[in-house]
A = this chain, B = another copy of it.
């Protein structure tokens, strides 16, 4: 599937649940079209920086966070056009965190989404700065999108909190610090809810917000996203333990090799599978307050179908 790497064949998903893959792929194409328009042109000065931003942000990927944002907007009755810019901002923020996490000083990853990482292609200086510029652009997009000032400010509050020292960045720090030490359950939960859960929760909350959802719906979808993020991260741990490099877009077993704290390392493979399933069920129970839950349910199943 050119341009859509990251979609692995679903293995062992529940019988009777239709795959969300075609719908997510269709959303991803529309997200990429808008991302292409929002990102600075590759020949604009400084062109090296803008090319690096585009290289990382338009790399093949599932666009799961934009998908959650758009699906959450739809679930509360909003239109796709209300949520598209916010969806792109979430992908930019995700890319910023991937670029920085992959740096030699942090995870030292050479492969991401099946391609060489940003610092391998553009060098470390540009990678640090391309991450910074994507972060700035993500928030600029939220600050300028078509929505009331109240909605934009609230979206910015949600995203800056999710990104900061008690969110994404905090999770990455604790993850790095936990390397090579015996993982404990609290630390692992801290890492996974922040590294992955925080931004998925924010994606759902912001989608519900720009879609015109009530405060209760926004909060419920935030809890849905947090659970889904945790389930996704458990599944990712499992895939990293069991999967092939082809499925992962990065080296298999690399987490274990560097002594990363993972669910299978702490709980074993079978118990981790059960926990992922349980967390998805918890997530789905949060959908009681919204009307159209098809795509969100599908995304929740998708988060673990690779390892179910």
Contacts and interface: CB of A to CB of B under 8 A. Distances in A.
Contacts of A177: 46, 48
A223 to B, nearest CB: 21
A106 B125 contact: yes
B139 A169 contact: no
Contacts of A174: 45-46
Contact of A136 (B45, B149, B169): B169
A190 interface: yes
Interface string A152-182: 1100110011011111011011101100000
Contacts of A125: 103, 105-106, 173, 176
Interface stretch (A126-134, A224-232, A242-250, A269-277): A126-134
A160 B125 CA distance: 20
Nearest to A136: B164
A306 B107 CA distance: 43
Q: Give the copy number.
A: 2
A203 to B, nearest CB: 16
Contacts of A81: none
Contacts of A173: 46, 48-49, 125-126, 129
Contact of A144 (B150, B157, B170): B157
Given A133-B170, A135-B135, A170-B133, A49 B165 contact: yes
A63 interface: no
Contacts of A183: none
A292 interface: no
Interface residues of A, number: 52
A175 to B, nearest CB: 10
A290 interface: no
Contact of A49 (B105, B142, B150, B169): B169
A94 interface: no
A45 B189 CA distance: 13
Given A152-B153, A165-B137, A129 B172 contact: yes
A21 interface: no
From A46, A106, A148, residue with most partner B Cβ within 10 Å: A46
A50 interface: yes
A85 to B, nearest CB: 14
A100 B131 CA distance: 11
B128 A140 contact: no
B160 A40 contact: no
B169 A140 contact: no
10 A-B pairs closest in CB distance: A105-B124, A136-B164, A140-B160, A149-B149, A133-B165, A143-B156, A46-B173, A136-B163, A133-B169, A149-B153
Interface of A: 40, 45-46, 48-50, 53, 96, 100, 103, 105-106, 123-129, 131-133, 135-137, 139-140, 142-144, 148-150, 152-153, 156-157, 160-161, 163-167, 169-170, 172-174, 176-177, 190
